[in-house]
Structure 1
Amino acid sequence: MNRAFPLLLTAAVLLLAAPVRAQQASWEIEARDATGTVTYDLATGLATGTNGIVVRYNGIVLTADAATVNKTTGEAVADGNVRVQSGEMLWTGEHIRYNFLNRTLQSESFRAGKSPVFVGGERVTGDLTNAVYTATNAFLTLDDFERPFFKVRARRLVIEPGKRFVAHGATLYAGAVPVFYLPYFSQRQDANRPAILVKPGYDSRFGGYLLGSYGWRWGQAVDARLHADYRAQRGFAGGPDLDLHLGQWGEAMLRYYYLNDDEPEPDLNGQPFAEDRQRLDFTWFARPFTNTTFKARVGYASDEGVRREFFEGEHRRDPQPNTFVEARHFWDNFALSARAQPRVNDFFNSVERLPEVRLAGFRQSIGATPLFYESDSSAGYYHRRFSETNVIPGLDYEAARADTFHQILLPHACFGWLNVTPRVGGRLSYYSEAEGPGAVTQEETRAILHTGVETSVKATRTWVGTRSDLLQVDGLRHIVEPSLNYAYIPRPGTRPNELPQFDYELPALHLQPLTAPDFNAIDTLDAQNVLRLGLRHRLQTKRDGRIEEFLYWDVFTDWRLDREPGQETWNDLWSEVKFKPRAWLTFDAMNRFDTRDGAMRLAYHALTLQPNTRWHWRGAYLYLRDDFSPAATAWGAGEESAVSTLYFRLNENWGARLSHYYDLRQHELREHGYALYRDFRSWTGALSLRFREDRFGQNEYSIGFSLSLKALPRYEVGEDTVLRDVLLTE
């Protein structure tokens, strides 16, 4: 017992002393190199370094030509090439007083920052405990150079490391020239775009214009950007962009834009649009609970021209945006969704679903049997609404519909190489009596039998020793997949013309799916006795140590064993090819061949060359034959055109892009654009010109200038080198 007491006392002393030693050990003070010296004064606790000193404490690193450090108070006074690294922030200056314990900093002249935002000034004081530093007569820049070209000078600059920089009494400078004044300016360190964006230019539709926006963050939940635009012939316009970060409730985006148009363009009937014009976009996606999602989209415009005129890029990507709200929950084998889809733009044809509930059963095995089951059931109230700009008004109608589809499949592999999947299914649909001025259908119940069989074979062969320098081939594997898909539907008792059409076939360049549930135009279902014949080829090789598919060819057609009125025995022949003979050379082709008269209905061919970073070229040809047949899937007027886009890097500082769109039917160059790029160290500038013929046959031209920061680019890498007019159609 008496022997144990000294041991316990010694252990206790060691444990109590451990934190003291750990705290002392956290200081590291040493010479920067062999020429430097560090001396210690044990009486005062001061460490003094000359000819280069490095001080490390608690993750903070200070380097300087000379410094004095008091390890008791944590105070360090450093001179000459002083650098203080604290987290992701780096402070530099010639004289800095820094306290390692409370993290306060004082400097007469300093520079600091974290890419892509940097600051500098005459005097800074601050306390990292409060995460705020204040500088006077300071500047903020996104240009990481000793003498930045673009900068914001401020009377007072507040720095919140890792968060943002706030400038009071700020003036934007281009070189030594002041551009404009802002009483308040804020730039986030984690931003993906500069806070201020300005784009001047000229467009024959708008006159001279200046497009500007300012972005900031409200707390952690809102990223905001306010647009303020002026067009000489059209007037002032603008509106807010809000990105909402809702935590468990997902992400939302709101875009609103308003203009009082001084000279509205005419609509298709020759009447000018109203002067008050606006556009509203809202999207929301959330996954608040496991396997539960919510989605919403609103795409509103005051008229059909506002997106086409002022948001050309959006209009090209999605000319008729949907509006809906949807909730969906997933299980292992089923998904239940509820959707409401109103019409908010009365100048578009649309089908309202107010609401629609759907239960989808994914393909799943039935117990221990070899059978599989899948289903798709829906119920809702639907309203077919036609554009109010139609020549013939009063065609709208509405009705309730309940539909359920169930199918059993029996996949089987015969002989180890032949895949056979027979299927049989049934569909039962109920339609209420249609109402509205265009209603012509009565209450109906329809039953449909779906049956068929799908067969396919997958054969491969490999030639390991095959080599070709011309085609970059190192070994060769050929995969061939012939397939047959037979579908049979006996003639139902209720024909499509006796039913309201809510989910119907739309004009499409590609051949439609043959079987349910992929074919979802359920209101147009009718008798079917069709065999789809397909053949798919793949050629694969090894390039740069990985397997790459350098040839893909898919071809198929339909043999209609029983023809319906207006149909031919053979459907169009579809062919799709992607050929990549070298890593930098790609050829794409899609063709749709009319087997009845032996002529092309669709031909699209594209060639892309990207041999290096110096130049890229893409050319494409499109032929689309006119289709004015009475069929609902007729796409109307066709076209024949060729497009070309060339990007060429002239040298390290200059680049150019040329794009052309040529109408081969009219033998006219309908649109051509040119862009000249200049590298300004941390920025890239682009001067863009475009000439084209508008929808009224009038010549139109535009010129614009844009700047893109390399650290916060406005476009993805290569985006503006291969897409036409991205610089003028944002």
Structure 2
Amino acid sequence: MRFIDFSILFSLCIGSLNAQLNAPHKEGDGLPGSDFADMPKTPNSIRVDHDGTMEMNSKKGTLLFIGKVNVKGDNGVELKASRVSVNTQKETALLTGQVSVRQKATTHHDGAIKPGIQMFADRVSLDGKKKVITLTGNVSIYQGATLHRSQRAIYDYGNRYLDTRGLASGLGPILLESDRFTAIERNGKKILIGENANITTHDVSEPNFWLRSDRTTIYPDERIIFKNLRIYAGDTAIFWLPYLSQPLDSDLGYHFIPGARSNWGFFLLNRYGIMLGGVKDEETGARNDAWLLSQWNFDIRSRRGLGVGVDLFDMRLDDNPNLGWLKFYYLNDMDASLERSAEPRGYVNEDRWKLELKHRADLREQGEQRTYLDFDITALSDRFFLEDFEPGTFKIDPNPNNEVGIFHRHPSFLGGIFTRLRLNDFHQTDTRLPELFIDQVKRPIFGSQILHEGSTSWGVYDEYLADFEKNNLRAEAALLPALHPRKTEIMGLLADRGYTRFHTFHEFTAPLNAGSKIVVVPRAGFGHTRYSNMDGSSNFDRTYFSAGVDTSMKFSRAYPEVVNKKWGVEGLLHVFQPYINFSQLSTNDLDSSFSGIETLTASTRPRPLEAGHFTATDDLMDWSIIRFGARNHLMTKRDGDTHQWLVMDTYTDLFLNDPEFDRNVSNLYNDITWSPLPWMQLELETQFPIASSNSDFREFAGNIKFMPSDALELTFGYRQLNNHPILEDSNQITTRAYCRISESWGLGFYQRWELDNGTLAVQQYSVYHDFDSWTASLGLLIRDNNDDQDEIGLMLNFTLKNFPSVSMPLTVDSE
């Protein structure tokens, strides 16, 4: 069969050739009638393979190929077309008819990967001498995730260099048009440069916004640099900047926040972030290995004036959100008397400023050991600065500490020396000048079953009232009779409180498994503290002995038949863990000549039972406490794993010796977390008295978040505190909701009610609108400060939602 097929094919070819040779033709025509010896030879830079017809012109040195034609050039470039004309003398080729061009990725001799490229066009011209390809007509170019479209493009396949004019490009969702577009490589990274370029992410025939600039440089996955930037909404210019480096990172680039507040007036907060450090590339202007994020602030407030500042972040410490920055801010306040609360201010200097340094410098690192220097400094111009200009920080940390220390971390301990400074004399502050410490982790002793953990410290401690409080107390005392009780109390508050203190405490535990379901852990510890006056005139010693035992049992039972898809149950496993913990501490009381500095703060939660974990060293007192409790876990299957469907911890303390309120029995505590569904979670903490005592207070704190539908998200919170011996009563409700009314509109609100006095303390209302590629929101804030004047804020927010991770150009935070 093979021989028959071959003979038929051979006969057909000979017959076709004879017909062409016998046909009439003119001198200079193609193959028919020509001598094969005169056929031009294709150059080495243009190699042709085809399965169709070929015509030649020996005088002009041209070859015409029609059919499925493959052309191979130098540097691995391959072209395909249905019609190819080759000029063998000039080493050029013209390709038409569904032309495609491909050059595969290669690895450079230095190890750098040269990316591949694939191009399509109606017409392609190839110059084998210059190694240049010119594409015209419906040009599409693919480079990785980047798509370029144009009517004309030039590609230097010898140097893998793309140069275009009138190009529209797409990098992911980013679309770009330019008069001239260039793609270059630096350090293995592709850089795109467009002249007279327009950028948008609104992928429709008539985008509703454009970012236009004289020169646009795109660093994929990093940043976009604009020179002479204009922002257009449709055909209307709405914003201009001479230069903008907008990274694909919300920390960098330009951001501004417009709005209005009662104590600020109308405001416009401006921030521009750029990277510093590293080595500058002279051609691209980029900084390689930049490590310092700088954010420059220029704020305008109609009632307060101009504020300027800079925030510097060490990105090498980016894994720790609490470290690695230096911030400075200054404002010459036009009216420093404007307040957010009813607290009287008196005189406040118009020069308002803040200097903040939170940084860690590694000194030595070897294996798992590390030595480092820590700075935690916040210096303020006055005690109202945070309240006035950083209310979010003020709510969390109104009186920041100032500490500097050297620390050494070892797998078995943490040690160091640090000092706590008094930089803000308008705050009550305790100091360490200095403190040395070592904290030892729980570890076996010589490989035995006995575990040891301990802590030791020595320091020079003092505590200072705020200067304005001292002045007020002195003024009050000056008006009182010599033997008045209040005057004696004031003199005690004004007395020096400083001392040196050595403290050490060590605890030993020995976990025992009394059975497969019972765990018993006995504990014993001892400690010593020595106090000395600053002048060494008086000393006092305290000794501690502690003992205790922690016992627990665990029972479990599976209920595979319990299935309820509606409440997210796919079988249940119930784990029940009752426990009893006993703790005894014996010590002598602190001498009255020493005033404690590290003391307890008021709380509704129970104190820790381990003396070694008790941070209020100066308030260690005799106690004898038994804690009874039980933990319940309900677990189910979810996404191939175990899910905690319900967790409840119920416990109470029995006091043989109460160190705080002379109680016999504490409240009954319940801590509950219920997560039945991905869109629903309940957290609940309750406590109430179960026996008459001197501290019969009640607390209820709950929060539930759920989404009854895809368009509605609700959060409700409630907290009630009654009859606490120290803390003020509270009866508070919080509500938060977001509702998507349609594809374009949404509403949100937040409220906090104080039911004791019927006050709506905080109100926030927001309206959101989706303008396809833009989103906008308008927010209103009303805060009742329990005085004659409410605080009102109006915030406006615009966001380019389609610009991935660019946060360009606006963002808003109500605080």
Give the TM bin, normalised by the shorter chain.
0.7 to 0.9
The answer to whether the 8 A contact 2:85-2:95 is kept is yes
Q: CA deviation at 1:645?
A: 0.5
Amino acid at match of 1:50: G
Which residue is equivalent to 1:708? 799
Which residue is equivalent to 2:330? 258
In structure 2, relative to structure 1, the CA distance for the partners of 1:244 and 1:491 (3 Å cut) is closer
Q: 1:657-668, aligned counterparts within 5 Å?
A: 657-668=748-759
2-side partners of 1:336 and 1:401: how far apart? 17
For residue 387 of structure 2, the aligned residue among 308, 318, 339 is: 308
For residue 673 of structure 1, the aligned residue among 750, 761, 764 is: 764
Q: CA deviation at 1:592?
A: 2.7
The answer to whether the 8 A contact 2:629-2:652 is kept is yes
Q: CA deviation at 1:591?
A: 1.6
Q: Does 2:263 match 1:205? A: yes
Q: Does 2:214 match 1:155? A: yes
In structure 2, relative to structure 1, the CA distance for the partners of 1:298 and 1:51 (3 Å cut) is same
The answer to whether the 8 A contact 1:255-1:280 is kept is yes
Unaligned runs of 5+ in 1: 1-22, 716-725
The answer to whether the 8 A contact 1:60-1:84 is kept is no
In structure 2, relative to structure 1, the CA distance for the partners of 1:210 and 1:562 (3 Å cut) is closer
In structure 2, relative to structure 1, the CA distance for the partners of 1:564 and 1:379 (3 Å cut) is closer
| SS state at 2:467 partner | coil
Q: CA deviation at 1:140?
A: 4.3
Which residue is equivalent to 1:228? 298
Which residue is equivalent to 1:15? none
Which residue is equivalent to 2:670? 575
Q: 1:248-327, aligned counterparts within 5 Å?
A: 252-264=324-336, 265-266=338-339, 268-285=343-360, 289=365, 290=367, 291-292=369-370, 293-327=372-406
Which residue is equivalent to 1:17? none
In structure 2, relative to structure 1, the CA distance for the partners of 1:377 and 1:25 (3 Å cut) is farther
Q: CA deviation at 1:227?
A: 1.8
| SS state at 1:268 partner | coil
1-side partners of 2:210 and 2:142: how far apart? 23
Q: CA deviation at 1:247?
A: 8.0
Query: TM-score by structure 2 length?
Result: 0.77
Q: Does 2:577 match 1:521? A: no
Q: CA deviation at 1:617?
A: 0.2
The answer to whether the 8 A contact 1:103-1:129 is kept is no
Q: CA deviation at 1:233?
A: 1.6
Which residue is equivalent to 1:104? 161
Q: CA deviation at 1:496?
A: 6.1
| SS state at 1:315 partner | helix
For residue 53 of structure 1, the aligned residue among 100, 122, 145 is: 100
Q: CA deviation at 1:262?
A: 1.4
The answer to whether the 8 A contact 2:658-2:664 is kept is yes
Which residue is equivalent to 1:64? 120
Computing the radius of gyration over CA atoms, which structure comes out larger, 1 or 2?
A: 2
1-side partners of 2:212 and 2:624: how far apart? 76
Q: 1:497-576, aligned counterparts within 5 Å?
A: 497-564=592-659, 566-576=661-671
The answer to whether the 8 A contact 1:193-1:714 is kept is no
2-side partners of 1:372 and 1:249: how far apart? 32
For residue 497 of structure 2, the aligned residue among 382, 385, 397 is: 397
Q: CA deviation at 1:480?
A: 1.5
For residue 76 of structure 2, the aligned residue among 22, 27, 32 is: 27
The answer to whether the 8 A contact 1:482-1:534 is kept is yes
Q: CA deviation at 1:687?
A: 1.0
The answer to whether the 8 A contact 1:434-1:500 is kept is no
For residue 474 of structure 1, the aligned residue among 562, 567, 570 is: 570
Amino acid at match of 1:623: Q
1-side partners of 2:136 and 2:664: how far apart? 90
Amino acid at match of 1:639: S
Amino acid at match of 1:242: L
Which residue is equivalent to 1:483? 579
For residue 133 of structure 2, the aligned residue among 76, 90, 111 is: 76
Q: CA deviation at 1:619?
A: 0.6
Q: CA deviation at 1:171?
A: 2.8
CA deviations on 1:155-189 (whole Å, 9 max, x unpaired) are 3344556654433333333333333432222223x
Q: 1:341-356, aligned counterparts within 5 Å?
A: 341-356=420-435
State the identity %: 24
CA deviations on 1:190-221 (whole Å, 9 max, x unpaired) are 42356222222222222222222222222312
In structure 2, relative to structure 1, the CA distance for the partners of 1:268 and 1:701 (3 Å cut) is closer
The answer to whether the 8 A contact 1:153-1:172 is kept is yes
| SS state at 2:533 partner | coil
The answer to whether the 8 A contact 2:562-2:569 is kept is yes
1-side partners of 2:465 and 2:401: how far apart? 15
| SS state at 1:397 partner | coil
The answer to whether the 8 A contact 1:210-1:231 is kept is yes
2-side partners of 1:547 and 1:574: how far apart? 27
1-side partners of 2:584 and 2:186: how far apart? 75
The answer to whether the 8 A contact 2:634-2:646 is kept is yes
| SS state at 1:109 partner | strand
The answer to whether the 8 A contact 1:686-1:705 is kept is yes
For residue 431 of structure 1, the aligned residue among 519, 531, 534 is: 531
Amino acid at match of 2:408: H
CA deviations on 1:223-272 (whole Å, 9 max, x unpaired) are 22222221212222231222223589997223322222212225723425
Q: CA deviation at 1:547?
A: 1.8
Which residue is equivalent to 1:720? none
Which residue is equivalent to 1:610? 707
In structure 2, relative to structure 1, the CA distance for the partners of 1:62 and 1:626 (3 Å cut) is same
| SS state at 1:517 partner | helix
Which residue is equivalent to 1:625? 722
1-side partners of 2:396 and 2:173: how far apart? 31
Amino acid at match of 1:307: L
1-side partners of 2:562 and 2:637: how far apart? 11
Q: 1:165-184, aligned counterparts within 5 Å?
A: 165-184=224-243
Q: Does 2:783 match 1:692? A: yes
Q: CA deviation at 1:125?
A: 4.9
2-side partners of 1:617 and 1:714: how far apart? 29
2-side partners of 1:495 and 1:575: how far apart? 34
Which residue is equivalent to 1:7? none
In structure 2, relative to structure 1, the CA distance for the partners of 1:464 and 1:128 (3 Å cut) is closer
The answer to whether the 8 A contact 2:146-2:172 is kept is no
In structure 2, relative to structure 1, the CA distance for the partners of 1:214 and 1:510 (3 Å cut) is same
Q: CA deviation at 1:147?
A: 4.7
Unaligned runs of 5+ in 2: 1-71, 106-114, 277-286, 475-493
2-side partners of 1:411 and 1:584: how far apart? 40
Q: CA deviation at 1:30?
A: 4.9
1-side partners of 2:359 and 2:271: how far apart? 23
The answer to whether the 8 A contact 1:134-1:156 is kept is yes
The answer to whether the 8 A contact 1:588-1:607 is kept is yes
Q: CA deviation at 1:134?
A: 5.1
Which residue is equivalent to 2:11? none
Q: CA deviation at 1:654?
A: 1.5
The answer to whether the 8 A contact 1:434-1:443 is kept is no
2-side partners of 1:214 and 1:599: how far apart? 55
In structure 2, relative to structure 1, the CA distance for the partners of 1:340 and 1:564 (3 Å cut) is closer
Q: CA deviation at 1:420?
A: 1.1
Which residue is equivalent to 2:246? 187
Q: 1:347-496, aligned counterparts within 5 Å?
A: 347-390=426-469, 391-392=472-473, 394-434=494-534, 442-492=538-588, 494-495=589-590
Aligned length: 683
The answer to whether the 8 A contact 1:491-1:528 is kept is no
The answer to whether the 8 A contact 2:74-2:158 is kept is no
2-side partners of 1:325 and 1:506: how far apart? 24
Aligned-residue RMSD, C-alpha: 3.2
1-side partners of 2:253 and 2:527: how far apart? 56
2-side partners of 1:277 and 1:127: how far apart? 48
CA deviations on 1:443-472 (whole Å, 9 max, x unpaired) are 222221121111111221111222234433
2-side partners of 1:116 and 1:221: how far apart? 28
